[in-house]
Structure 1
Amino acid sequence: MTRVKICGLKLVESVHIATKERADMVGFVFAKSKRQLTLQEAKQLAKDVPPSVLKVGVFVNERLENVLTIAQQVPLDVIQLHGHETNEYIQKIPYPTIKALGIRTEEDVKSLSNYPSATYMLVDAPIAGSGETFNWALLKNVQQPLILAGGLHINNVEEAIRTVNPYMVDVSSGVETNGQKDSKKIKQFIQRVKQGEMTDDRSDD
């Protein structure tokens, strides 16, 4: 069963629907972004996340001490890194880690092996957060478990899973309407991944 991460959550109701529908991870963004949270906002949202769902903090080129402080205070379960962080940086983090890489070429795919200390590797479009997909076929010979991100939504996630066979899929803009998380889209996306093909009638229940 492919796992699901819903990222960029900012509202309690979005957290509720994601956890109710059995998302495996929820992501809180601490990097500069329209989805950026303050520490206090993240702490409030974290209170509504059950222990069975992992809380992920997303950072970009952040000072290690800041990452660890935020992780302890929220508290977070997993650290996701979207910048130029090195494997040596990752080694210093006492939490499971997700290292994200933008994929444009076969050389980018080969660079996945540069981060042996990362718990998970996340493969994304070259411009993270763009809502664009990339050439999934580049990943067909990758043996390690991957988290697949980049332009996923209810109408393409099944094809993405068939092509890449990822450990997890990660969605943010694909479950938004007018830049805001849409509870119906969150529910439909998770159901589509967890239950396979569904009719439109069932996904509207």
Structure 2
Amino acid sequence: MRESWNIQEIANLGPDFMGFIFYKSSKRFVGGLEPETLHAIPKTISKVGVFVNEDVEFIAKQVKKYDLDYAQLHGDESPQLAKKLADKSIRVIKVIHIANELPEDRINEFEDTVSFFLLDTSSPNYGGTGMKFDWAVLKDYKSPKQFMLSGGINSSDLDRILSLNHPGLMGIDVNSKFEISPGIKDVEKLKDLRNQI
């Protein structure tokens, strides 16, 4: 999300989380978004900054400037970087990229440091593919940390997601299937989704 009017519209729907992309190569990059726009979001909504292979100093600066509640590490970051952020009292979400199987070793590396995981479809461009991974691999998810499910989710997937009945599943992350254009969310589609949940 990157336009103040759209951010306000979505905040009015009362989601649990709102994400903001701080990755310059993304077509959803926040660009010149004013910090005041994010400061105006109700405290009941957690603001998530999405970062790809940035250093600790850059992430910490954006967290402070935009009053972010979480830093989501969406690239190839190390567990050591996640720990340095946690040591600065920054809550971390680590994205686990899934191709054909669940990378349990990668999950284990971050388990002690993150608040929770986000499981997304593997992509050379770090997300935004609109594609799903095979949710059957979730049977192998044994971490005590909860996860959010991401990757090409649309309204027609809700029944299947609920039927997963996975104890670790805390929510879903929706993106491209609920956009008018990159970075601009479709309010009506999101209202419909909210009403179905």
TM over 0.5: yes
Distance 2:34 2:153 in 1: 24
**1:84-123 to 2 correspondences below 5 Å:** 84-93=76-85, 94-116=89-111, 117-123=113-119
1:191 maps to a residue whose letter is N
Q: With structure 2 as the length reference, what TM-score do the two structures score?
A: 0.85
- Is 2:4–2:33's contact at 8 Å kept on the other side of the alignment? no
Instruction: Give per-residue Cα distances to partners, 1:41-88, cap 9 Å, x unaligned.
Output: 051420331011111000000121111111101111100001111111
Greater CA drift, 14-23 or 89-98: 14-23
Matches of 1:24 and 1:136, distance apart in 2 = 23
Tell me if 1:173 matches 2:143: no
Answering whether residue 137 of structure 2 is matched by residue 157 of structure 1, we say no
Tell me how far apart the structure 2 counterparts of residues 150 and 164 of structure 1 sit (CA, whole Å). Answer: 18
CA distance in 2, matches of 1:148, 1:77: 19
**CA offset at residue 119 of structure 1?**
1.0
Cα deviation for residue 35 of structure 1 reads 0.5
1:134 corresponds to 2:130: no
Does 2:19 align with 1:12? no
Structure 2: gaps spanning 5 or more residues: none
Please tell me the root mean square deviation across aligned C-alpha atoms, in Å: 1.8
How many percent of aligned residue pairs carry the same amino acid?
27
SS for the counterpart of 1:99 is strand
* Change over 3 Å in CA distance of 1:37–1:21 after alignment to 2: same
Shift of 1:163: 1.8
1:17 and 1:186 in contact (8 A); partners too:
no
Segments of 5+ residues of structure 1 without an aligned counterpart are 1-8, 194-205
Of structures 1 and 2, the one scoring higher in RCO (CA 8 A, sep 6+) is 1
Are the aligned partners of 2:72 and 2:94 in contact in 1 as well (CA < 8 Å)? yes
Structure 1 pair 178–79 and aligned structure 2 pair: CA distance change class (3 A): closer
Q: Secondary structure at the match of 1:156?
A: helix
Distance 1:178-1:69 versus aligned 2 partners, 3 A rule: closer
Native 8 Å contact 1:87 1:118 kept in 2: no
Q: For each residue in 1:5-57, what CA deviation from the matched residue of structure 2 results, as whole angstroms up to 9, or x when unmatched?
A: xxxx122333233322220010010012011013x405142033101111100
Question: Runs of 4 or more off by more than 3 Å in structure 1?
Answer: none
**Residue in structure 2 matched with residue 5 of structure 1 by the alignment:** none
